[in-house]
A and B are shown apart, each in its own frame.
Chain A
Amino acid sequence: MRPFIIRHPSVGVFLALLALFTIFVTVMSEAYGLGFVSTSFVKTLGKTLCLGLVAISMDLVWGYCGILSLGHFAFFGLGGYMIGMWLMYARTKLIVVASLANAELPATEQEVVDAIGNQIFGVVGSSDFPLIWIFADSFVLQMALVVLVPGLLALIFGWLAFRSRVTGVYLSILTQAMTLALSVYLFQNDSGLRGNNGLSGLQNLPGADAIAQSHISIWFFWASAAMLGLCYMAAAWIVSGKFGSVIRAIRDDETRVRFLGYSVEGYKLFIFVVTAIIAGIAGALYYPQAGIINPAEIAPIASIYLAVWVAIGGRGRLYGAVIGAAFVSIVSTYFTGGQAPDINLGFYTIQWVDWWLVALGLAFVLVTLFAPKGIGGLIDLFEGRRSPDRHGADLGPDAGSLREAEAEK
Chain B
Amino acid sequence: MSMLLEVSGVSVTFDGFRAINNLSFQIGDAEMRAIIGPNGAGKTTFMDIVTGKTQPDEGHVLWGPKSVSLLKMSESQIAREGVGRKFQRPTVFEDQSVFDNLLMALKNPRGAFGVLFYRLGDKDRERVRLLAEEIGLQDELSRKSGELSHGQKQWLEIGMLLAQDPKLLLIDEPAAGMSPAEREHTTEILRRAAKTRAVVVVEHDMEFVRRLDCRVTVLHEGAVLAEGSLDHVTSNQDVIDVYLGR
A interface, CB within 8 angstroms of B: 1, 238, 241-243, 245-246, 248-249, 252-253, 255-256, 258-264, 266-267, 270, 387-388, 390, 394-398, 400-401
Q: In the complex where A245-B103, A261-B164, A397-B182 touch, is A253 in contact with B147 (Cβ < 8 A)?
A: no
- A246–B147 Cα distance when bound, in Å, is 20
Q: Which residue of chain B lies nearest to A249 when distances are taken between CB atoms in the complex?
A: B93
B115–A259 CB distance below 8 A: no
Residues of B contacting A253 with CB < 8 Å? Answer: 91, 93
Residues of A contacting B152 with CB < 8 Å? Answer: 401
B interface, CB within 8 angstroms of A: 51, 53, 74-77, 79-80, 84-85, 87, 90-91, 93-96, 100, 103-105, 110-112, 115-116, 118, 120, 144, 146-153, 160, 164, 177-179, 182
B76–A261 CB distance below 8 A: yes
Partner of B104, one of A249, A266, A270, A397: A249
Partner of A260, one of B111, B112, B160, B178: B160
Partner of B79, one of A248, A249, A260, A395: A260
Nearest Cβ on chain A to B135's Cβ, whole angstroms: 15
- A245–B51 Cα distance when bound, in Å, is 23
Q: In the complex where A241-B118, A270-B112 touch, is A258 in contact with B76 (Cβ < 8 A)?
A: yes
Residues of B contacting A263 with CB < 8 Å? Answer: 74, 76-77, 110-112
A396–B104 CB distance below 8 A: no
Count of inter-chain pairs, beta carbons less than 8 A: 98
Q: In the complex where A252-B93, A259-B51 touch, is A401 in contact with B104 (Cβ < 8 A)?
A: no
14 A-B residue pairings within 8 Å (CB atoms): A243-B115, A245-B104, A256-B87, A259-B75, A259-B84, A261-B76, A262-B76, A263-B110, A263-B111, A387-B144, A390-B146, A394-B90, A400-B149, A401-B150
Partner of A242, one of B80, B94, B95, B104: B104
A252–B80 CB distance below 8 A: no
A394–B146 CB distance below 8 A: no
Q: In the complex where A243-B118, A260-B105, A398-B179 touch, is A248 in contact with B80 (Cβ < 8 A)?
A: no
The 4 closest A-B pairs by CB, nearest first: A261-B79, A396-B177, A401-B149, A397-B179
Residues of A contacting B84 with CB < 8 Å? Answer: 259
Residues of B contacting A261 with CB < 8 Å? Answer: 76, 79-80, 110, 164
Partner of A248, one of B96, B144, B160: B96
Nearest Cβ on chain A to B128's Cβ, whole angstroms: 12
Q: Which residue of chain B lies nearest to A260 when distances are taken between CB atoms in the complex?
A: B105
A248–B93 CB distance below 8 A: yes
Residues of A contacting B149 with CB < 8 Å? Answer: 397, 400-401
